[in-house]
Amino acid sequence: MSEHVSTKILIVGSGANAISPAVKLALRGETDFRMITKDSDFGGVWHVNRYPGCITDIHVAAYQFSYEISGEWTSSHPEAREMAAYLRKVARHYGLYDHVDFNTELLGAEWDKNGLYWKVTTNAVTYHARFLILCTGFLEQLKFPELGGTEKFKGRLFHSVHWPEGYTGEGDRIAVLGTSASGVQIVPEMQKVADHVFVFQRTPMHLLPLNREVYSPDELARRRSDPDFLVKERDEKLAMFDKVAYDALFNSETPQQVAERQALIDAHRERLVPDPDLREKLTPKYLLGCKRPTRTDLFYPSLQQPNVTLIAEGAVALEEDTIISSSGQAFEVDAVVMATGFYWGGDILNRIRRRDGRTVAEHQAGHRRAHKSVSLSGCPNLFLVGGAGANGAVWNGYAPGELVPEYIFAVLDYMKDNGIEAFEVREECETEWKARTDEILSKAAIVVGGCVNYMLDESGHDMSSWPGTMRDMERAMQNFEPDHYQPIGAGS
């Protein structure tokens, strides 16, 4: 018999949205749970992203756990290593290192109809878990550009997530492909040290001011000594960002408000990019909110340095020491950085088999869905948190991990109180919730904004956004309706 590990609850993931469910389990007194992750430590995207200049573009007052508000942040927008250290500190404080198996990737999961548990295969051992919670994140599957001739290229070629240890770019001619969140952070850092940086931009982004503040010793001392201020600051930022995100997503502002907001963005660009020709290349032609806007104060100035060239088109091929643009322009380079980001979360569902033997992805046929972003028909005792679930994202990436467990625990408590071994959402409830969600989001900028983005599914629906505010999600997660679920008996 092959080796296996039995556990009541198996959590897959090691980022913020996996840490919070595990913490909340521990606080409930639950000890029979394991965590598995393909990564080597806690931290999620902040563990794997180590490229120069990697910082959070959301104010840290809002981008941290409500149960671990810290006064130790060194700036308003911490670097990746500081954010990863915070997440590891939280994991250590709540004893999660005793529950985790690192370097353990979920390869497949199937429901055992007779034993009523999930059989999870990994690159290490097999797990048998009564409950399976997938917290694999919004950004789990790397996206690579279509480049011909990669086998010919003699220089460095790597995705930004796979930044070579110790590589600084000093003295090199570097091509950076992409100007989304990672690209706009990498370019200013490479500009400082590279011989030349060639920035390939297929589509310009809406860039907002970051206004990053590095805290002085006096400010750090004040923040450490005033926890009430930290709570107040967090509450204010949450309320502000929740409204801004909702307005951008649903175009809910009046025409005058839209014009005023656009004028601020245009003024920011005009102030930092005086050259009208360059500014035109950097001006998006789609609605704000169609793509995730990025905040930076450094990208525009870096483009105007003598050792930086903006190529307003994509790259299509490589030669031995050359990269070629879609119009046939050739540039000699020593390194190519693919800052091309990720596919939207949910790839994990290609590895999960429903009770009928098909994978979730096969069954859903390009129209991703989950009841309240949490439960899947055909998958008893399985729950999704954040990016793993369709429409599980709000502007605050940490929020689902704190909010969704309340719903999961309500299901678990109901099952215990009623002697139910396996519980599964009814397919009609899953379908109805997704239909309402699609209708709400059909008017959102992501759908009608006039851009190509990674948040639309194959059927053209928004598969990423929660259909409301973060507070709406909080209320929904507090409302478990047992009649939306059905018990599943042995052999079913």
At 282-337, the pLDDT tens digits run 999 998 888 988 999 999 999 999 999 999 999 999 999 999 999 999 999 999 99
Question: Is the distance from CB of 25 to CB of 383 less than 8 angstroms?
Answer: no
The structure's pTM equals 0.95
Average confidence (pLDDT) over 426-434? 98
Residues in the chain: 492
Q: Are residues 180 and 321 in the same domain?
A: yes
For the segment 464-474, what is each residue's pLDDT rounded down to a tens digit?
A: 999 999 999 99
Predicted pLDDT at 1: 39
Q: Could you tell me the residue range of the domain that residue 67 belongs to?
A: 4-141+343-487
Predicted pLDDT at 281: 97
Q: Is residue 151 part of a domain?
A: no
User: Helix axis angle, 80-93 relative to 16-27, nearest 10°?
Assistant: 20
For the segment 85-125, what is each residue's pLDDT rounded down to a tens digit?
A: 999 999 999 999 999 999 999 999 999 999 999 999 999 99
Q: Are residues 330 and 348 in the same domain?
A: no
Average confidence (pLDDT) over 63-75? 97
Q: Find the helix or strand (DSSP H, E) in which 67 lies.
A: none
For the segment 233-284, what is each residue's pLDDT rounded down to a tens digit?
A: 999 999 998 988 887 777 666 778 778 888 888 898 999 999 999 999 999 9
Predicted pLDDT at 2: 59
Q: Are residues 483 and 362 in the same domain?
A: yes
d(CA 17, CA 364): 24
Radius of gyration for the chain, computed over Cα atoms and rounded to the nearest angstrom: 23
User: Helix axis angle, 227-250 relative to 470-477, nearest 10°?
Assistant: 100
Question: Is the distance from CB of 325 to CB of 316 less than 8 angstroms?
Answer: yes
Q: Are residues 355 and 332 in the same domain?
A: no
Q: Domain with 271 in it: what CATH number?
A: 3.50.50.60
Predicted pLDDT at 245: 81
Predicted pLDDT at 346: 81
Q: Are residues 55 and 129 in the same domain?
A: yes
> Residue 40: pLDDT band by 50, 70, 90 thresholds?
very high
Q: Is residue 434 part of a domain?
A: yes
Predicted pLDDT at 251: 66
Question: Is the distance from CB of 241 to CB of 62 less than 8 angstroms?
Answer: yes
Q: Is residue 81 part of a domain?
A: yes
Q: Are residues 335 and 268 in the same domain?
A: yes
* pLDDT averaged over every residue in the chain: 95
What are residue 316's phi and psi, to 5 degrees?
Answer: -125, -20
Report residue 448 as tokens.
């009608």
At 233 the three-state DSSP class reads helix
Enter the DSSP assignment of 164: P
Q: Are residues 199 and 319 in the same domain?
A: yes
Average confidence (pLDDT) over 32-46? 97
- Distances from the Cα of 406 to the Cαs of 24, 151, 317, 358, 413, in angstroms? 9, 50, 49, 29, 11
Question: Is the distance from CB of 377 to CB of 488 less than 8 angstroms?
Answer: no
Q: In DSSP terms, which residues pair with 129 in a beta bridge?
A: 7, 118
CA-nearest of 369, 366, 373, 348 to 466 is 373
Q: Are residues 352 and 446 in the same domain?
A: yes
Q: Are residues 272 and 417 in the same domain?
A: no
Average confidence (pLDDT) over 429-437? 97
Predicted pLDDT at 247: 79
Report residue 492 as tokens.
């079913």
Q: Are residues 326 and 406 in the same domain?
A: no
Q: Are residues 127 and 264 in the same domain?
A: no
Q: Please tell me the total count of domains within the chain.
A: 2
Q: Is residue 237 part of a domain?
A: no
Tokens 């789990």 locate to: 140
Which comes out higher in pLDDT, residue 158 or 490? 158
Q: In DSSP terms, which residues pair with 371 in a beta bridge?
A: 375
Q: In DSSP terms, which residues pair with 176 in a beta bridge?
A: 199, 337
> Residue 387: pLDDT band by 50, 70, 90 thresholds?
confident
Predicted pLDDT at 425: 98
